[in-house]
Amino acid sequence: MYAIAMIQSSRAIPAVCALSIRLMFCCLALGVALAQEGATRNDWPYHGGTQYAWRYSGLNQINTSNVKNLVPAWMFQTGDYENGLQSTPIVLDGVLYLGTSRDQIFALDAATGKLIWQYNYPPGTGGQGKGVAVGAGKVFMGTHDDYVVALDQKTGKEAWKTAMDDATQCGCRIISAPLFLKDKVVVGNAGGDGAFRGYLTALDANTGRVAWRFYTIPGPGERGHETWKGDSWKFGGGATWMTGSFDPALNLVYWGVGNAAGDVYAGDRFVGERPDGANLYSASVVAVDGDTGKLRWYYQEVPKDVWDYDAAYECVLVDREVRGQLRKLLLHVNKNGYLFVLDRTNGQFLGAYPISDNHNFAAGITEDGKWVNRLEPVEDRMTFICPSPSGGKSWNENAFSPRTGYIYTPGLELCSNYIARKQEPQEGRGFSAGNWDHVPPHDGSARSHLDAWDPVTGKRIWSYPYKYFLLASILATGGDLIFTGNPEGEFFALDARNGNKLWDFQTGAGHRGSAITYSVNGRQYIATPTGWGSIVGRIMLEVFPDAKNVRNGSTLIVFALPQGAR
């Protein structure tokens, strides 16, 4: 048996700790400052709440004692029903900005839902837009045909439009919300399951000109190029299809990188085990300089990925004590269902633990981050492996609460029968190099759960089970509440400390987006997108034929306490 690598925080021993009163007060002040950096208050200015991606607000007008009184305050229907509403709204100065799957943008009065302006991008198919970014007086959006568009924040008029690539050639697009930092907007790209070379791009927020580009698959002469066989790097995948994070003090942009391509068969890209990883920088977390895009560090979570185990998900930046030392941490869940804990100043591996119950792709992970006894797909032969390519967690995002110190993350229990197959890449075309179906785990039916974890020790504090898949992001608040929604249309609140269910509301459509909270004129609101969609959403219906109450839609529903009841 191999133990899971864990982190243990040390316990202070008063007789040994000869700290002065001044030092203790300094540490307390530092802790308060750090807690405030990751928390939102009246606004929700970034995709993750703040650039630290906590998805946490310090607002506490709505709390465990009165959440049962929540009622709808207003609703807004977008009319865009393709793939539901997978978005994260942005709120600044009383205005709510909402992007839809097919690249429409609405500016709404955040207190009433009244339309201020609307922008309609030329329609296309296959849209899965997850939101917008706001900064420098503009609203930024990536599009289904691989452009970044900037609109005037007050009027919705187009300010500039920049092509990232030739979408008809590369088969790429943008589905994630951009990340605004200082004078730039950074955007990733989707298309990693095709014959494509991934990248991350920063644009000048005022002009739309490319400020820098970082390729996730290094070319000739670049560090890591030697980890690719022959010309396989040209079509190596490594998509950056979710939104990253930013630490202004370190000036580092953190981004998760997707799977290598072809997904399942590695014979044409793998050059042998290397101490620095295989098929870099696929299935990695990368940290790049915010001004130049130069790589500062990387950590590859899955060398030689042959399971479609993306590392593309959100990077949560927190500061916690580890072994008696305050460390700047990055918490990151891989699609393989493991949560990684890294030092965000240098990428040092500090620990990892599973957040899903079924994971036979490896026997475990060592204290220095090496996978033990990997179970890999076999060419032209079926192999049962957990988790499935849909993930031990999908892209719906975690939340972190500084009040509890817990990270709240959804987990999926679903496996697949993999078959690897040799495949020649064709630029811009699908490049899975194999196939799979989705099947229940051996320990019972497919299912999901929402869990509270101590991110330092890896201890699960509580677990909320659900019979289908929980695929909406998590919201944590200063009222010690956790909000999320399920595919049957129920939007609900849990007690952040024990997981007890305190409130629910039937919205009439499945939940796949990201709820937020904000305040206008002293009144706190909870806003949730509704409308079922996405690839994993369709897979859920295949796995659960009895899930007949899952409905599509595209409505933002906003809740508040009744007037006078606060």
Does position 251 have pLDDT exceeding 90, yes or no?
yes
556: pLDDT strictly greater than 50 = yes
pLDDT in tens, 286-323: 999 999 999 999 999 999 999 999 999 999 999 999 98
Name, of 24-28, 457-461, 535-539, the range with top average pLDDT: 457-461
Kindly state the average pLDDT of the residues 9-23: 35
- Residue 308: its pLDDT value, please? 96
Please say if the pLDDT value at position 370 is more than 90.
Answer: yes
Region 221-241 average pLDDT: 96
- 495 pLDDT band (50/70/90 cuts)? very high
Whether 27 shows a pLDDT value over 80: the answer reads no
Q: Of 254, 242, 217, whose CA–CA distance to 431 is shortest?
A: 217
Residue 220 in 3-state DSSP?
Answer: coil
Residues in a beta bridge with 341:
331, 351
Select which of 308, 310, 451, 480 is catalytic.
308
Q: Which residue matches tokens 């490319």?
A: 210
pLDDT at 14 over 50: no
pLDDT, residue 19, reads 37
Percent pLDDT > 70 in the chain is: 93
Confidence of residue 566 (pLDDT cuts 50, 70, 90): low
User: What mean pLDDT do residues 462-480 have?
Assistant: 97
Q: How many CA atoms lie within 13 A of 256 on its CB side?
A: 29
Residue 51 has which token pair? Answer: 């650039």
Q: What percent of the chain has pLDDT over 90?
A: 84
HEC string of 61-112 equals CCCCCCHHHCEEEEEEECCCCCCCCCCECEEECCEEEEECCCCEEEEEECCC
Res 541 pLDDT > 80: yes
Task: Return mean pLDDT, the chain.
Answer: 92
Stronger pLDDT, 304 or 20, i.e. the higher one: 304
Label residue 157 by pLDDT band (50, 70, 90).
very high
For residue 168, what pLDDT band results from cuts at 50, 70 and 90? Answer: confident
pLDDT given for residue 4 in this prediction = 47
Active site residue 308: yes
Residue 6 predicted with pLDDT over 60: no
Closest CA to 213 of 287, 140, 293, 297: 293
Q: Which domains does the chain have, with CATH numbers?
A: 21-529+537-560 (2.140.10.10)
Q: Is the pLDDT of residue 7 over 60?
A: no
Higher pLDDT, 528 or 1: 528
User: Mean per-residue pLDDT for 350-366?
Assistant: 97
**Range of lowest pLDDT (30-39, 52-61, 162-171, 268-277):** 30-39
- The answer on pLDDT for 515 being more than 90 is yes
Q: List the single range of 283-297, 434-448, 526-540 with lowest mean pLDDT.
A: 526-540
Tokens of 222: 């670049």
Q: Which amino acid is at 17?
A: C
Q: Taking the CA of residue 305 as centre, how many other CA atoms within 13 Å lie in the half-sphere pointing to its CB? A: 32
Which of 405, 212, 215, 240 shows the shortest CA–CA distance to 316?
405
Residues with Cβ within 8 Å of residue 65, at least 6 apart in sequence:
none
